[in-house]
Structure 1
Amino acid sequence: MGNEEFAQRMQREVLDSYDEELELELEDRPFDAAGNEIALTEQEKLERRHYFAELLRLQGELVKLQDWVVATGHKVVILFEGRDAAGKGGVIKRITQRLNPRVCRVAALPAPNDRERTQWYFQRYVTHLPAAGEIVLFDRSWYNRAGVERVMGFCSDEQYDEFFRTVPEFEKMLVRSGIQLIKYWFSISDEEQHLRFLSRIQDPLKQWKLSPMDLESRRCWEQYTRAKEVMLERTHIPQAKWWIVEGDNKKKARLNCIAHLLSQVPYQEVEHAAVQLPERVRHKDYSRRPLPKSMFVPGKY
């Protein structure tokens, strides 16, 4: 392979990796009421290019943060809370997209089973906390009790009151143990959530995101607002502050959240030894055995 052909193949490899982000962006394609895709204006195209440039830059910083966490044994827990369709999942995908899943992992717990309902409330979350050199992102967290469980009647008044007595001490204990705890609330307007729900209904690739509980949350908008206000008031403590992310503009919310996250961790760039690819060892007595055609995936594309 000549130098020019090699350079072209390397360039295509880089472009393929960036296409991953374009694939994710299909989630955000805009539709009109009839389900037809809306053409972007020149200004919107310009803003989109700026968004990609900033996102890739921030993701490069996230890789540096990851290296520092591993090198220092730092432990980070990040909570993502907010209304349905507020953009929590989108920013989590962009944070983890280029990171090592063995270092940075997502905990998205389902509803508790019968056994877990009899446990100490925080018990099932504790098992997902990080060891040294790990980052854990909670896509919803123990604050379910202050939100959906309270609004939908899944917990008693006594359990609700006990949660608020316990959670500040629980989080202080996590911080004393060496875990850095960062809490984000994604804020979204009534009108924007309505629009996003309609978009999910029209889009067959997004309909799975709409659960009966999500639909019910629209009816209970004001109850969720009151529950959120109580939660923020009673659990915004110096050791684990709440940070509000304005989420009506998805792309700005992602960039703002990632930039803020980077500002909260005192990471530094870790120097690595230069990587050199070793020469492949070849043996004259080795020959590759052919595999039967029946074992191969059909080449339909």
Structure 2
Amino acid sequence: MATFENKLVIVTGAGSGIGRATAERFAVQGARVIVSDVNGDTAKDTVDRIEARGGKAYPYAVDVSDVDAMEAFAASVHDAHGAPAVVVNNAGFTTAGPFLGHTVEDWNRIMGVNFWGVVHGSRLFGRQMIEAGRGGRILNVTSPAAVLPIPLSTAYCTSKAAAQMFTECLRLEFAGTGVGVTAVLPAFINTGFYPNAQVVETDGKSVGRGKNLSVLAAQLIARSPETVARNIVRIAARNPAIAPTPFESRIACTGGRVSPAGARLAARMMDIDSLVGLVDRILPASAVRRLDEAAARAVSKS
């Protein structure tokens, strides 16, 4: 798929972050973009940005975890625009906190978006692609967390690991249909992902601090959503099976697959309580206070 001129591209979670940047990038390539998000206002904002640059885009508000809503969404898109050439199942969110602090409802929510949203998008639009007989691409956005354990992120890692294995299996099933399936694993990206994380905690201290510091680090050192979006468009044209992006994600994912024991050791060293305790021990109280204040400002601005 060398060109996306006038091709129909669907991007979920396109109201912000990687999804918005990806929708905009496909539009620059001449695609007609279906912009979906659980928030209809942010979906419309993305469409307005695309149209302001002369692109073509159409907003849809849909909760990817809701099977009835997704079936209605898929039918509506097909009736209005036909079968897609590319689907980017990008919608997702995270939680942070101890496993025993998570309720069944927490688990249902994160699995509903991060796993079932990917399944619904792949199933509904994959069927349209195969029946249309023109081939296409399905790109499911997972995470290095699919292969790397992360402290206090058991639910998130589990949801992404499930989406990763689903994607790898689906690629085998769709082989020969002309529909390629790729798992895209973005690394640490500066989006609304971290400030919007649901914090589930017991003592109300370390996890919240860790979230604030993650937001600050994202603003200082993380890659931009546009970097990932450019790579996603290239990936859609090439159709690899697994695509960690950018370079640091390749390093992390390779390490996690080559040495699971090493990944577990590194994860233990990244435990939030240990890291926060280390910061408190090695920095003077005034420096810790300034760091916490900077992190809090980063959250308020995100």
State the TM-score, normalized to the length of structure 1: 0.30
State the TM-score, normalized to the length of structure 2: 0.29
> Larger RCO: Structure 1 or Structure 2 (Cα < 8 Å, ≥ 6 residues apart)?
1
